[in-house]
Structure 1
Amino acid sequence: MSSAHKNLSIFSTDNLPDITEKRFAIVVAEWNEEVTNALADGAHKTLLTYGAQEDNILRVTVPGSYELSYGAQKMAQREDIDAVICIGCVIQGETKHNDYINHAVAQGLTNVSLKYDKPVVFGVLTPNTEQQALDRAGGIHGNKGDEAAITAVKMLKF
C-alpha cells in the first residue's frame, strides 16, 4: 500500500519487545534537513514512547542519503548498538540522481544489516516532490520516522 493511502504513524504495536535496555543509533542525512530533522524527531519520540531510555538513543549526522550506508556501518559495528535507524530524503526533481542514490542506499543498508546481524532500517523518503516529502515527515500522511523506529523495535524480536 502506498503511503498516499496509509498513515505512516499508525501501526500495530502487538507483542513489542521490551526495549528499556536496548541502544539505538539514528543516522540522519543533513541534505533536505527540514524533512530529515522532522523524520528523526519522529523516530526519537516513537522510541521513547515504546520504552527506550533517552540515554540509549544516539543521533549522528552524515552529509546526505548516499552516506547513510557508511554511517550505518560505523554504528552497526559498535557492540553497544542494538539497532540502527537511517533517515534520509531523496527528492526526484528533474534528474535521475534519485534512482542511483536510492538503489545504492537500499543495497548498502541491507548489506550492513546482514554483515552485523542487527536491524538497520531504511527510513528514507523517495518522493517526487518536496511537498510529498513534507506530507510524509509529520504531514497529512504521518511520519516515516515513526514507522522506521517501530520497525527497528519489532526487528529486535529476532
Structure 2
Amino acid sequence: MFGAEKGKAINLDGSKLSIGIVQARFNESITTSLADACLQELAAMGVQADNIRHVLVPGALEVPVALQAMAESEDFDALIALGCIIRGETYHFELVANESGAGVTRVALDFQIPIANAIITTENEEQAIARQTEKGRDAAIVAVEMANLLETL
C-alpha cells in the first residue's frame, strides 16, 4: 500500500491539517475544475476551509515559486500544485512540463514538505477535460495522506 506501513491503514483524516494550493491560471477552465474537485475532496476528508490557502499564478512555470514561498512560511502540512499543460506545435510544451515538474520536486525535497503535483500534461484539451476531476481529487488525497505519513516518520 502506497504511503502506509505494512499492516497499517492509510490515514486520510485532514481535520488537523493546513494545506496550501497553488493553481495556474493558464488553461483556466481546466485548472478551475481541478481546484474545485480538489477542494471538495479536502472538505470530505475534514480539512477546514480556514486551513486552506488557495492562490493563483499565471502559469505552470510560476507554480514552484509560489510553492516555495508557502514552504518557507512553515505554515502548511502539505502543498498542492494545480495546472494544465496542453501540447502545442512547438518545443514549449516539453520545456514547461519538464521545468515545472522539476521545480515542484525541488521544493518538496528542499523543504521536506509533501507536494501533490497535479499539473496535468496532455496532448489535447479533450484529454485534459477527461482527467480534471479525478486528478483534482487525487491531489487532495495525496496531500492529506503524505502529510499524515510524514508526521509519523
What is the TM-score with the length of structure 2 in the denominator? 0.88
Question: Are residues 1:152 and 2:143 paired?
Answer: yes
Q: 1:30 aligns with which of 22, 25, 32?
A: 25
Q: CA offsets, 1:34-65, max 9 Å, x none?
A: 00000011111111101111111110010000
Matching residue of 2:111: 116
Amino acid at match of 1:146: R
Give me the whole-angstrom Cα distance separating, in 2, the residues matched to 1:147 and 1:81.
19
SS of alignment partner, residue 60 of structure 1: strand
Give me the whole-angstrom Cα distance separating, in 1, the residues matched to 2:44 and 2:91.
38
Is the Cα contact below 8 Å between 2:30 and 2:132 reproduced in 1? yes
SS of alignment partner, residue 61 of structure 1: strand
Matching residue of 1:129: 124
Question: Are residues 1:53 and 2:44 paired?
Answer: no
Q: In the TM superposition, what is the alpha-carbon distance from 1:17 to its structure 2 partner?
A: 4.4
SS of alignment partner, residue 136 of structure 1: helix
Matches within 5 A, 1:66-85: 66-85=61-80
Give me the whole-angstrom Cα distance separating, in 1, the residues matched to 2:66 and 2:10.
30
Q: In the TM superposition, what is the alpha-carbon distance from 1:15 to its structure 2 partner?
A: 2.1
Question: Are residues 1:63 and 2:38 paired?
Answer: no
Question: Are residues 1:96 and 2:91 paired?
Answer: yes
Give me the whole-angstrom Cα distance separating, in 2, the residues matched to 1:95 and 1:146.
31
Q: In the TM superposition, what is the alpha-carbon distance from 1:118 to its structure 2 partner?
A: 0.7
Structure 1: segments with no counterpart, 5+ residues = 1-13
Amino acid at match of 1:113: A
Is the Cα contact below 8 Å between 2:12 and 2:141 reproduced in 1? no
Deviates more, 1:24-33 or 1:89-98: 89-98
Q: CA RMSD in A?
A: 1.1
By percentage of residues, which structure has more helix? 2
Is the Cα contact below 8 Å between 2:12 and 2:45 reproduced in 1? no
Matching residue of 2:13: 18
How many residue pairs match? The answer is: 141
SS of alignment partner, residue 77 of structure 1: helix
SS of alignment partner, residue 90 of structure 1: strand
Q: In the TM superposition, what is the alpha-carbon distance from 1:18 to its structure 2 partner?
A: 2.9
